Amino acid sequence: MISLLFAGCSRGSTSTPVAALAPVEPAATATPELAHDFILPTLSGESVTLSEQRGRWVLLNFWATWCPPCVQEMPYLNQLASERDMVVWGVNFNEPVDTAAAFVEKHGITFPILTELDDITALVYKVRGLPITHVIAPDGAVAKTVIGQIDPVAFEAWLDEHEVPRRQ
C-alpha cells in the first residue's frame, strides 16, 4: 500500500514534464459553509438561536472559569460588546450555571453567557482547547477563527479590515 503512495514520486518516473502540461484554470471560489446553527440557554434563562442573528456580525467565544487565558480576555470581549455593532456571546464550556453566574457577576461581564453546550456544537466548532473564538459574518459563514487568547491589536485590525461597524 505504501509503495503505491510513493510510486508517482520516484526519480525514475516517466511522467510528462511540468512545462508540457496545459495551464490549469483557477478553481471557482467555493461558497462559504454556513455556521452550525444552535439554540442554547443564557444565564438569565432565555434561549438564543444563532440563525436568528443572520444579517449581523456574531462573535462566539468558548471559555471556562478555570482557563487563565479565557479570564484574561474577558475585559476585551466586554469592550467589543460595548464598542462594536456585533453580537458577542460567551459560550461556557460545561460548567455549572452557578459557577458561570458567579464569575460573570464578579468580573462585570455585560454580554450574554450561553450555557449547556451540547457535544455536537462543541464538535462542529472544534472546541478542543480553550479559549476558541469564531466570528460569524452577516451572511452566516464563519469568517474568522482564533485559537487561544485574542490579540486585541490584530483582532481590531481584522474587524476594521472587514468593516465590522463601531457603535454610535
Task: Look up residue 10 and give its three cell numbers.
Answer: 520516484
Query: Is-contact 99 130, C-beta < 8 A?
Result: no
Scan for cell 455549572, then name that residue. 96
pTM: 0.80
pLDDT at 83: 97
Rounded to 5°, the CA angle 74-79-32 comes to: 85
The vertex-103 CA angle with 102 and 109, nearest 5°, equals: 115
pLDDT at 33: 76
Q: What secondary structure letter does DSSP report for 50?
A: G
State residue 12's pLDDT score.
42
pLDDT at 168: 84
Check residue 34 and give its pLDDT. 87
Which residues does the chain have with pLDDT short of 50? 1-22
SS3 102: helix
